[in-house]
Structure 1
Amino acid sequence: MPDCSENFESEIDDGKNKRLVKCKYCSSVILTPASATFSSFEYKLPLIKQNKGNVVNPETEDVLQFWVVNDMMTFYNVGFSNTVGSTKYLTCADCETGPIGYYDIPSKISYVALSRESNSYIIFHMIMLCNI
């Protein structure tokens, strides 16, 4: 159990990711340090593993923490799904696992879920366990 008097600020430098952001499944680099901004809000992101019979209404989970990327060219390595409404889902370009986040077409902003990338494991669990 983490010491809840600590916080995740050691992983963030000037509001940006301090370390490489990597795929949780194959460790491919998604973002380089200082290329995304931390943000906390709720978004229903489809689960990575879906029931194959439920194509129309995919199962989702509430995701609360994201790395925000203002320019899609900032990514070191990422794939984009076909358009679903006003959204494209982000995948790892190497192992094609996803969604690891989403791209909002109207705003042209991308969001990578901390819970779906490897180097934010500490941040994600500190937030969830300590309610920070």
Structure 2
Amino acid sequence: MDLEETKSGDAFETNAENKNMKLICCPLCEEVIFSREVANLVSQQFSLPEISKENTGNIHKMIEFDTAWQVTDQFNFENIGFLNKTGDVQYLICANCDYGPLGYTENSKTFMISCTRTKQLKEDEIPKNSKLPEELSLFLENAMAQQSSS
């Protein structure tokens, strides 16, 4: 699956307080990054390394962005991974599939996630068991079947 970043002109649904109205998800595995009404939509210039298929740890070409989902508490995330710091910047990736970088933090107080490197979904659009590995899902299904048959 070849992922392209969402075009900057795409609509990002927010409420009257400028918070996300839909779930903010990883575009690759659709794991939830933010629940509804958690992140603020902000207009701010920033750059992130280009997403590379090979995870060599090297910084690639930087891409400019102008819109982000912003939170001020790392516990607002449902799912996020932190890469090692590069100078003062720490890049953020999907903790489920390592896709990214999706955003960054410079001071661990403000976290910016690129709107165009994420996907907005409604609750009913999230795949069932998206958080469970296949082996665990099968184990739970078998355990529930055994319990109901006894």
TM range (shorter): 0.7 to 0.9
Q: Which residue of structure 1 aligns with residue 120 of structure 2?
A: 119
Q: 1:40-98: per-residue Cα shift (whole Å, max 9, x none)?
A: 1111110111788993x521110111000110111000000101111110000000111
Gaps of 5+ in 2: 1-9, 122-150
Q: Secondary structure at the match of 2:111?
A: strand
Q: Secondary structure at the match of 1:115?
A: helix
Find the counterpart in structure 2 of residue 30 from structure 1.
Answer: 33
In structure 2, the CA distance between the partners of 1:115 and 1:33, relative to structure 1 (3 Å rule), is same
Q: TM-score, normalised by structure 2?
A: 0.67
Q: Structure 1 regions of 5+ residues with no counterpart?
A: 1-6, 121-132
- The sequence identity of aligned pairs, in percent, is 31
Cα distance between partner residues in 2 of 1:8 and 1:68 = 16
SS at match of 1:73: helix
> Could you tell me which amino acid in structure 2 is paired with residue 16 of structure 1?
K
- Give the equivalent residue in structure 2 for 1:66: 68
Q: Which has the higher contact order (CA 8 A, sep 6+)?
A: 1
Tell me the amino acid that sits aligned with residue 95 of structure 2: A
What residue is the counterpart of 2:80 in the other structure? 78
Is contact 1:78-1:93 (8 Å) kept? yes
Residue 104 of structure 1: how far off its partner (Å): 1.7
TM-score by length of 1: 0.76
Runs (4 or more) in structure 1 with deviation over 2 Å come to: 50-55
Does the 8 Å CA contact 1:50/1:58 hold for their aligned counterparts?
A: no
Contact 1:22 1:117 in 2 (8 A): yes
Which protein shows a greater Rg? Answer: 2
SS of residue matched to 1:108: coil
**Number of residue pairs aligned between Structure 1 and Structure 2:** 111
How far residue 8 of structure 1 moved from its aligned partner, in angstroms, is: 3.7
| Distance (Å, rounded) in 2 between the aligned partners of 1:85 and 1:93 | 22
CA deviations 1:19-49 (Å, max 9, x no partner) are: 1000011100000011110001111110111
More strand by share: 1
